Amino acid sequence: MKRRWHIQTRILVTLIGLTVAILLAVGAAFNLSIRSYVRSRVAAQLSTVSENASFERREGQRPEHGEKLTDQPPDRVIGTTGSAVVLNENGNLVAILRGDEKAGKAISSYFSEHPLNENAKYTNVSTDDSKYVVSVTTDPMQNGNFLVSYVDVTSITAFTRQVNLVLLSVICAAILISVVLSRSFARSFAQPVRELSNFAGEIGEGKFDNRELSFNDVEFGQLASSMNRMASALREANRKQETFFQNVSHELRTPLTSIRGNAEGIACGVIEPETAAKVILTESDKLGGMVEDILYLSRIGRSVPETAPEPIDIRELLSLCVSEQHAEADKRGVAFIFDFDDEPVLLPIREQDAQRLFGNLISNAIRYAHSEIRLSCHTAADAVTVSVADDGDGISEEDLPHVFERFYKGKGGKHGIGLSIAQSVAKACSGVLSVKNDGGAVFEASFPKEKQ
């Protein structure tokens, strides 16, 4: 299983590791640069010393101890001058061409214990208190001796060591500072996460109260605002759900009570079976319709068709809905007035959904109309608009904001589900269903026009 880390630990390890890696890289680059520079300068300096000493030996000059050879070019000097001695094949000191006796004897002592040949190029020679880089060539005097040029790099080595100690101190100080800063940064980062996590846990437990959270980081503030909005939405949804269950239990209890009462009347012989059967059938139909509406309301918007529905002519569908409810309209003495476009008004919508939407609007209008219902269906440049208007008393100002709420029943309402279904269908089809009073109630559904 993958190991999990605390945010604070991860930030701490990351920052310290990054700091150490950067400083170690700087230290390595510095040492490589110094080593490369010293090597190139030492090589040039040894070459100059060897050439000068060889030339003077060929000319037969035998400088005494401490006699100065030809000056070396300044650009080839690295802070210490080169020196030269002559050693025999056993490493014994023959002559000091340049430099002090102590250094010459130290070089002689080293090569008395190590092989001396022309291949000893740029050899490092360390003594008790000094360090040299030497180069060996054959003595131009052709007497079996060797010319040994050397450069004292003790001070350069000490300088490099001091710089490395300083870098090590800087690394240790940087690690300490990184620990302090990363702990502070990790704490400031982890604390908002913990608070938001606790808030999310409360929401998960059903506590939807908003919390006042203030953070320095914009992103955490945005997340807190989003979670507060989510809590508000869940609180409202929970309230609506409780209201829904209360209302649906009440609406279902009424027909069930009637069915039970009539069934008991038959069983006790106090109600004529034929009369009771009619009531039971009527209430059963009402109950079945209500259950079907509830199930449809719960399914609407959940399923996404694999292909877009074929456009249908809304004029024909409205005419179909009217014909289905014409008997009820005739019973109430309500006439229909049609205001349709001459050309087909096409809308990509499933016929079943369209019948639910406009059938509920027409059924609602029949219930409240005095004498007529006006159906309008028009297409514009960018939208299809359908309206259902009745000549009734209109919707009271108190009920108007709640007409689309589930199980909300105004004066003369039936179950309080039909208009909620109509609005859900409109939203699922990217439309907008609105209501207003203009003489009577006017319901208007607007849909974006299908792109050709």
Q: Are residues 359 and 436 in the same domain?
A: yes
The region of weakest confidence among 200-204, 292-296, 361-365 is: 292-296
Q: Are residues 277 and 142 in the same domain?
A: no
pLDDT at residue number 30: 82
pLDDT at residue number 305: 53
Distances (CA, A) of 299 to 292, 348, 425: 11, 19, 10
pLDDT at residue number 452: 43
Q: Are residues 108 and 13 in the same domain?
A: yes
Question: Is the predicted pLDDT of residue 448 greater than 60, yes or no?
Answer: yes
The count of domains in the chain is 3
User: First and final CA of the chain: distance in angstroms?
Assistant: 54
Q: Are residues 383 and 433 in the same domain?
A: yes
Please compute the mean of the pLDDT values over residues 13-29 and round it to a whole number. 83
Digit-coded pLDDT (tens) for 121-154: 777 888 777 888 888 888 777 677 888 888 888 8
Task: Tally Cβ neighbours within 10 Å of residue 176.
Answer: 11
Q: Are residues 35 and 113 in the same domain?
A: yes
Buried b / exposed e over 18-57, threshold 16 CB at 10 Å, is: ebeeebeeebeeeeeebeeebeebbbbbbebbbebbbebb
What is d(CA 277, CA 281) in angstroms, rounded to the nearest whole number?
A: 6
Residue at a domain's end among 299, 332, 361: 299
Residue at a domain's end among 160, 183, 210: 160
Domain of residue 274, residue span: 218-299
Q: Domain of 292: which CATH number?
A: 1.10.287.130
Q: Are residues 22 and 153 in the same domain?
A: yes
Q: Are residues 28 and 69 in the same domain?
A: yes
Q: Are residues 316 and 228 in the same domain?
A: no
Q: Are residues 225 and 147 in the same domain?
A: no
Question: Is the predicted pLDDT of residue 94 greater than 50, yes or no?
Answer: yes
Residue 406 pLDDT level (bands cut at 50, 70, 90): confident
Q: Are residues 291 and 318 in the same domain?
A: no
Digit-coded pLDDT (tens) for 357-397: 999 899 889 988 999 999 999 998 788 999 999 999 888 88
Question: Is the predicted pLDDT of residue 155 greater than 90, yes or no?
Answer: no
Digit-coded pLDDT (tens) for 216-238: 778 888 888 998 999 888 888 88
